[in-house]
Amino acid sequence: MKVILTYGTFDLFHVGHVRLLERLASLGDKLIVGLSSDEFNKSKGKSSFFSYEERAEILAACKYVDLVIPEREWEQKESDINKYNVDIFAMGDDWKGHFDSLSSLCQVVYLPRTKSISTSEIKTLIADLKKNDLNKVQKSLNDAIEIIKKLNYSE
């Protein structure tokens, strides 16, 4: 049995995640996903919209994922490779070169990300939408204030 291991935050689960997991699963027989814990994300200066428990539930429901384990620190990758008898350690190509040191334990593969979609971009778009909506609300309030002022002046 060929075991594949990857890691990530997998927040705001989207088609890019599905396609990456599908490609990872196609490399072997069992796909294990090390999911960044909320505490680990915090130590990296990141935060997730969904909690670790919610993200783990979403990942576990994906047909390509066989096992979800918590990622609590950078250093655990080597022990996880040994513990789960990993044959292939795989990550998105934005991490290219970062984990080459693990090649003495297993094959290290970097897969291309799905173009034109990322969680960071989605979060930016949502933030921009919120700002745009807030600006619209502020403009409406300012317009209402102006109308009230005009009504008060005309009395």
Both tokens of 92, joined, read 């998105």
Domain span at 107: 3-111
* Domain match, 14 and 87 both: yes
Same domain, residue pair 53 and 78:
yes
Range list of H helices, the chain: 15-25, 38-43, 52-61, 76-83, 119-154
Q: What is the pTM of this model?
A: 0.76
Do residues 17 and 53 share a domain?
yes
**Per-residue model confidence (pLDDT) at position 151:** 66
Nearest to 51 by CA among 35, 63, 64, 62: 35
pLDDT number for residue 46? 86
Distance (Å, whole) CA 100 – CA 102: 5
Instruction: Examine the domain organization and report whether 138 and 73 are in the same domain.
Output: no
Strand-pairing partners, residue 4, are: 31, 88
Res 94: pLDDT = 85
Per-residue pLDDT of the chain (155 residues; tens, 9 = 90+): 999 999 999 987 878 888 899 999 999 999 999 999 999 999 998 888 889 999 999 999 999 999 999 999 999 999 999 999 999 999 988 899 999 999 999 999 999 876 666 666 655 666 665 565 666 656 666 666 667 666 666 55
Same domain, 10 and 85: yes
CA separation for the pair 69, 86 (Å, rounded): 14
Query: Is residue 26 domain-shared with residue 52, that is, in the same domain?
Result: yes
Decide if 10 contacts 48 (C-beta within 8 A). no
Residues 9 and 83 in one domain: yes
- State residue 100's pLDDT score: 97
Q: How many domains does the chain have?
A: 2
In terms of domains, do 128 and 104 share one? no
- Euclidean distance between CA atoms 91 and 7, whole angstroms: 7
Residues tagged active-site: 44, 46
